[in-house]
Amino acid sequence: PAPVAASAEAEASVASNEPVEQRASHQAGTRRWQVEIEACPGLPSPLNISGTVVVSDDGWGIAEAFCQRMEARGLHAVRIGFESRIRDASRHDEGGRTVYRADPEQPEHLAWIAEQLEGTPIGGMVHMAPLKLASEDWLEDAYPSSQIALAGHGWFGLLKELGGRMANDTPGFIASVTSMDGRHGNIGDRFNAVQCAASGITKSYAFERPDLRCRALDLHPEYVLDEHEAAQRIEDDVFGLAGEVEVALDRDGRRWALVAFAEDVVDEVKPLTGQDTWLVSGGGSGVTAASIIGVAGASLNAGAHFELLGRSKLIETTSSWIDWSESQLEQEKNALR
- Give domain status of residue 166, yes or no: yes
Q: Based on the fold, state whether residues 222 and 306 are members of the same structural domain.
A: no
- Give domain status of residue 315, yes or no: yes
- CA proximity to 28, closest of 270, 259, 265: 265
Number of structural domains, the chain?
A: 2
- Give domain status of residue 36, yes or no: no
Q: Based on the fold, state whether residues 179 and 281 are members of the same structural domain.
A: no
- Give domain status of residue 2, yes or no: no
Single residue among 227, 244, 260 that ends a domain in this structure: 260
Average pLDDT, the chain: 87
Q: Based on the fold, state whether residues 174 and 293 are members of the same structural domain.
A: no
- CA proximity to 75, closest of 55, 57, 99, 45: 55
Report the predicted TM-score, pTM, of the whole model to 2 decimal places: 0.78
Is residue 57 within 8 A of residue 128, CB to CB? The reply is yes
Average pLDDT over residues 86-102: 95
Q: Based on the fold, state whether residues 213 and 329 are members of the same structural domain.
A: no
Q: Based on the fold, state whether residues 119 and 182 are members of the same structural domain.
A: yes
Q: Based on the fold, state whether residues 156 and 242 are members of the same structural domain.
A: yes
Full residue range of the structural domain in which residue 327 is found: 8-31+267-336
Helix axes 107-116, 154-162, angle to 10 degrees: 40
**Residue 283: band (very low, low, confident or very high) from pLDDT cuts 50, 70, 90:** low
Q: Based on the fold, state whether residues 195 and 223 are members of the same structural domain.
A: yes
Single residue among 260, 290, 316 that ends a domain in this structure: 260
Q: Based on the fold, state whether residues 324 and 201 are members of the same structural domain.
A: no
Q: For the segment 66-78, what is each residue's pLDDT rounded down to a tens digit?
A: 999 999 999 999 9
Q: For the segment 9-41, what is each residue's pLDDT rounded down to a tens digit?
A: 333 333 334 443 344 444 455 678 888 899 999
Q: Based on the fold, state whether residues 229 and 117 are members of the same structural domain.
A: yes
- Residue 326, helix vs strand vs coil: helix
CATH number, domain of 140, equals: 3.40.50.720
